[in-house]
Amino acid sequence: VELSRKLVEIIPSAEMVRFGKNGSDATAAAVRVSRAHTKRDKIACCGYHGWQDWFIGSTTRNLGVPEAVRKLTLPFKYNDIDSLKALFDQNPGEIAAVILEPTLFVAPKDDFLKKVKELAHKNGAVLIFDEVITGFRIALGGAQEYFGVTPDLSTFGKALGNGMPISAIVGKAEIMSKFNDVFFSFTAGGEALSLAASLATVAELQEKNALKHVWAMGDMLRDGYNAIVKDLKLEASTRMIGYGFWPEMEFFGKDGKHSYAIQTLVTQELIKRGVLTRAGMVLCYSHTPEDIRRTLAAQGEALEILRDALKAGDVEAR
């Protein structure tokens, strides 16, 4: 109850709360309760929403998902409102909910989130923000607070428990009350340690203004990386994009498409220098300016090796 009250206080869309154990629990529950609320079956989605059949069946990782289930989930493109409009036009009165990650590395353009909300409501669909990644990172109240667009339902996880297994579905009481009849239960549902951990996490975020620090470290890393790239004249091969809470390295081949060879070489050289990472770098409150400087030093050396490899034409051999 204490954590529920705290989330209602913090998150703009939260009138009622239910807890799960991982992001897939939360998104699947949000989809199911939306179907119950609207008495419709189809879901429009944009982003990654977990491993369960309703979503993963719409991807290339759909082995084992029945064809009938796959047909119920309809992907649309981020920052392309016409792609969502087309789904509503092609499936009139059939779409129960629109679920999307409100942002990751690319910012919404031209009031995209606002337009998604308007289009969903115009067509009688529930709007769900999947904030499993953005929640408690981009802002304390999530991307909905940051961008000023409030959905009907939202899902949270990851940073909420600071590593502990917990997720949350929050939203309008009118829809959330359907959980009185929609079955949502699991073996470890009564585990309370994660609830305590989440309360402590939220308190730390509030009391220490932790997100301001996280963003500062991420901005320092992204800007420093791009400065090195510019100095080495590698703009055509790599860059770092994204928000301060989660900057990401991108790597390009001569054709402008993603280069796994370049990514592998840079990652390999970073590991050799004691920096264990992948392309996306999730910052946390524990990271210090010294950590960022050390990372940038390693990235500088790795990018020098990349520059030499590109000149020699032996990226893959290295």
| Residues 239-272: tens digit of each pLDDT | 999 999 999 999 999 999 999 999 999 999 999 9
Q: The domain spanning residue 265 has which CATH number? A: 3.90.1150.10
Residues 64 and 177 in one domain: yes
Q: Which domain holds residue 266?
A: 210-312
pLDDT at 219 over 90: yes
Average pLDDT over residues 139-157: 98
- How far are the Cα atoms of 53, 99, 184 from residue 18, in angstroms, in the given order? 21, 18, 9
Q: From CA 212, how far away is CA 190, in angstroms rounded?
A: 33
The label of the residue with tokens 């079955």 reads 183
Mean pLDDT of 174-184: 96
Please tell me whether residues 43 and 181 are part of one structural domain. yes
Render pLDDT for 94-118 as a digit per residue (tens, 0 to 9).
Answer: 999 999 999 988 999 999 999 999 9
Choice among 6, 48, 114, 219 that is catalytic: 48
Q: Are residues 250 and 188 in the same domain?
A: no
CA distance to 22, 217, 240, per residue, from 293 (Å): 34, 10, 16
Establish if 318 belongs to a structural domain: no
Give the number of other Cβ atoms within 10 Å of residue 106's Cβ.
12
Q: Is the pTM of this model over 0.75?
A: yes
Residue 76 lies in a domain: yes
Tell me, yes or no, whether 259 and 290 share the same domain: yes
Answer yes or no: 158 catalytic. yes
Note whether 258 and 155 are same-domain residues: no
pLDDT at 318: 85
pLDDT given at position 104: 85
The alpha helices in the chain, defined as continuous H runs, are: 2-10, 23-38, 53-56, 67-70, 81-90, 112-122, 142-147, 173-176, 193-207, 210-231, 260-272, 289-312
Q: Which of 87, 148, 88, 80 is nearest to 114 (CA)?
A: 148
Tell me what the mean pLDDT of segment 6-34 comes to: 97
pLDDT at residue 285 is higher than 90: yes
Domain edge (last residue) among 207, 224, 258: 207
For the domain that residue 60 is a member of, what is the CATH number?
3.40.640.10
Q: Annotated catalytic residue: which of 130, 152, 225, 243?
A: 130
* Residue (of 105, 136, 100, 113) closest to 11 by Cα position: 136
User: How many domains does one find in the chain?
Assistant: 2
pLDDT over threshold 90, residue 177: yes
Residues 267 and 249 in one domain: yes
C-alpha 26/C-alpha 95 separation (Å) is: 19
300 and 175 co-located in one domain: no
- Examine the domain organization and report whether 177 and 217 are in the same domain: no
The answer to the question of residue 224 being in a domain is yes
**What's the whole-number mean pLDDT along residues 284-311?**
97
Q: Are residues 277 and 307 in the same domain?
A: yes
Annotation marks residue 181 as catalytic: no
Q: Which residues contact 108 (CB under 8 A, 6 or more apart)?
A: 78, 79, 102, 147
pLDDT at 190: 87
The residue among 168, 191, 207 that closes a domain is 207
- 228 found inside a domain: yes
> Distance between CA atoms of 18 and 167, rounded to whole angstroms?
9
Q: Answer with the one of 207, 226, 246 that is the final residue of a domain.
A: 207
The sign one gets for the Cα dihedral 21, 27, 31, 36 is positive
In a domain, 317, yes or no: no
Active site residue 233: no
Residue 222 in any domain: the answer is yes
Same domain (yes/no): 182, 73: yes
Residue 279 lies in a domain: yes
Strand partners, 153: 128, 171
pLDDT of residue 189 exceeding 90: no
- 41 and 103 fall within a common domain: yes
- Asked whether residue 89 is assigned to any structural domain, the reply reads yes
- Predicted local distance difference test score (pLDDT) of residue 188: 86
Query: Of residues 21, 42, 158, 225, which has the active-site annotation?
Result: 158
Q: From CA 212, how far away is CA 139, in angstroms rounded?
A: 9
Q: What is the pLDDT of residue 105?
A: 87
Instruction: Let me know whether 155 and 214 are in one domain.
Output: no
